Amino acid sequence: MTAIPNTLQTEAPAQNTLAPTGAELVVSALRDQGVDMVFGYPGGAIMPLYDALPGSGLKHILVRHEQAAAFAADAYARATGRAGVCFATSGPGATNLLTGIANAYMDSVPLIAITGQVPTSVLGTDAFQEIDIFGMALPVVKHSFLVRNAEDIPQVIAEAFEIATSGRPGPVLIDLPKDVAQSRMPKPRAVSVAKTVLRAPDPVAIAEAETLLKRAKRPVLYIGGGVVKAGAGDALRRFNMLAGIPAVSTLTGLGVLRTDSDDFYGMLGMHGSKEANILVQESDLLLVCGARFDDRATGKLDGFAPGAKVIHLDCDPAEIGKLRDADAGVQGDLKASLEALSVGILDISPWRAKAQDLKKRHKFNYNAPGAGIFAPAFLDELSRTAGDNFVATCDVGQHQMWVAQHCRFSRPEAHLTSGGLGAMGYGIPAGIGAKLARPDDCVVTITGDGSIMMNIQELATIRRYGVPLKIVLFDNSTLGLVRQWQELFFDGNYSEVDLYDNPDFADVARAFGVEAFTVSRREQTSAAIERLLRTNGPVLAHVRIDPRENVWPLVPPGKSNAEMMERKS
């Protein structure tokens, strides 16, 4: 497949003897921050910034919806560890970014969202496409800027990146009025940004944590997404290689420990593994690293790990003690905190033996009845066939839980999903961002027939840039997770979940210029995976599955993690 070149945005910067415009200052300030790729969609108020892009050296990816720009930039950030950048115009362009900004906020992802705004002379007059995006975004950003003077732009950009990437990462909004972007500024202000330095762990708190660890007989290492954001994965692996504590993780902590390692027992919580939930419930100590006791992980909070003391390591002091009191709270640099803990191998051989026995007894059975494709078995085979190069960008629904339960992940960057917000439509834009960020990885978007329709227009973006993204679409002609809850908790009253009128998704993909094929029988699984992985360009595997299939196990709402529902024989 021949990609449409984006030559205007990749040429060397042109010589310009005029004083730079505010928009040109934005571009040069982004380059100063090491930005080489941005995602966006043009419009009236942001047009000066797009006028500055040709010859800027920045690669711009034109998405087909602003929400996709934010999701793609989010995944780009997760895949690289650097802040992702997205552009949108004022009014609906800016509001379309909000879901993606909220997604980054909930999952602590560094994101810079630059929105056009009406000229300062008409701010507050309900001008065409004026919206107070500064005010609307306040609950879902770390910080917001409304730029009123072009001379402030380099300083604002530098501060935005420092805020977005330091401490607990998150999104920052920069609202740029059109007249500010167009004005010329011979002498921008000098940039001076104080670097944020995380506090070192308190030696007293470390000593308290070490004492608790050495006394524990049934400890569990509880890994959250904060370990990934802190770049503390290697430190955690080194710590546990010595300590040997049975480990579980949240949805966003998957891959910090290899999911097939001896010490790892799976995801905990609502759709966690049985062995993970049993270990947590029976533990006498939780070593919580970069997690926030989310309700999907804990179930009924007052019934969560009732006999366990808690050591809580986190960079954000607001999280320590917020939902569960910590017997030892270690606030500060998570990597430094893990490196400071010195306990050696713990004397917990009976506990380790019990954990291994639980893993053997509750091993998942992939031999489901029927002749149709069984999604968990498909995903298990897919991730193992792809190997350590595998990266999943996942949408939201039953398939998201199946990915978390059954895919093999060797590193945290291999599992990109909308965790806290649970935003349908994340998968394909995230796949674009991840594949552009890590072109040598085998990036596979795993989506459902409900989720894909949220941002299906991004197949055009895939085609335009020739992004060789692999897409697995599980089609059960229903909103599967909602249908499952209606079956189990609403007396089978199936209200507005039937997607019987879905299009033929393989035909749709081919209409966008993306290769596609359809499979529905179990014996087609291996051939489908081989074709998916061997296709050079973008490809969509339309996988039809049984609409009655549910995700198991399941902790019912309002119950503790000890009360798991399981598949009936």
Over residues 136-157, the pLDDT tens digits come to: 999 999 999 999 999 999 999 9
- Cα distance between residue 559 and residue 303, in whole Å: 8
Q: Are residues 379 and 311 in the same domain?
A: no
27 and 122 inside one domain: yes
Integer Cα distance of 457 and 60 in angstroms: 18
Rounded CA separation 52/122 (Å) = 23
* Residue 409 burial class via C-beta count within 10 angstroms: exposed 0-12, middle 13-18, buried 19 and up: buried
Q: Which of 182, 211, 239 is the last residue in one of the domains?
A: 182
- Tell me, what CATH number does 252's domain have? 3.40.50.1220
State whether 410 and 497 are in the same domain: yes
- The reply to whether 45 falls in a domain is yes
Note whether 176 and 117 are within 8 A (CB): yes
Whether residues 131 and 218 fall in one domain: no
Same-domain check for residues 326 and 406? no
Report if residue 119 sits inside a domain: yes
**Beta strand pairing call for 84-88 and 59-62:** unpaired
Q: Which backbone phi and psi does 251 adopt, to 5 degrees?
A: -55, -45
Instruction: Tell me the backbone φ, ψ of residue 565, rounded to 5 degrees.
Output: -90, 145
Q: SS in 3 state form for 7-18?
A: HHHCCCCCCCCC
Say if residue 380 is in the same domain as residue 334. Answer: no
Any domain includes 367: no
- Boundaries of domain holding 399: 375-544
For residue 193, what are its two tokens? 């940004």
**What count of Cα atoms within 13 Å lies in the side-chain half-sphere of residue 15?**
1
Q: Considering the entire predicted model, what is its pTM?
A: 0.95
User: Across 216-273, where does the E strand assignment appear?
Assistant: 219-223, 247-249, 264-267
Does residue 136 form part of some domain? Answer: yes
> Cβ distance 293 to 322 under 8 Å?
yes
CATH of the domain at 472: 3.40.50.970
pLDDT one digit per residue (tens) for the chain, 569 residues:
444 444 334 444 445 568 999 999 999 999 999 999 999 999 999 999 999 999 999 999 999 999 999 999 999 999 999 999 999 999 999 999 999 999 999 999 999 999 999 999 999 999 999 999 999 999 999 999 999 999 999 999 999 999 999 999 999 999 999 999 999 988 777 898 988 888 899 999 999 999 999 999 999 999 999 999 999 999 999 999 999 999 999 999 999 999 999 999 999 999 999 999 999 999 999 999 999 999 999 999 999 999 999 999 999 999 999 999 999 999 999 999 999 998 989 999 999 999 999 999 999 999 888 899 999 999 999 999 999 999 999 999 999 999 999 999 999 999 999 999 999 999 999 999 999 999 999 999 999 999 999 999 999 999 999 999 999 999 999 999 999 999 999 999 999 999 999 999 999 999 999 999 999 999 999 999 999 999 999 999 999 999 999 999 999 999 999 999 998 76
Q: Report the Cα 351 to chain-centroid distance in Å.
A: 33
Q: How far apart are CA 199 and CA 196, in angstroms?
A: 9
Considering the domain boundaries, does residue 416 fall inside one? yes
Taking only the tens place, the pLDDT of each residue in 325-374 is 999 999 999 999 999 998 989 999 999 999 999 999 999 999 888 899 99
* Triad 196, 199, 205: Cα angle to 5°: 160
Looking at the structure, do residues 350 and 384 belong to the same domain, yes or no?
no
Please count the structural domains in the chain: 3
Residue closest to 553 by CA, chosen among 486, 484, 473, 450: 484
Does residue 232 share a domain with residue 166? no
Q: State how far the Cα of 419 lies from the Cα of 103, in Å rounded to an integer.
A: 8
370 assigned to some structural domain: no
Q: Are residues 146 and 221 in the same domain?
A: no
Cα(548)–Cα(545) distance, integer angstroms? 9
**Residues 163 and 278 reside in one and the same domain:** no
> Is residue 346 in a domain?
yes
- What six digits make up the tokens of 169? 């990462």
| 567 within some domain | no
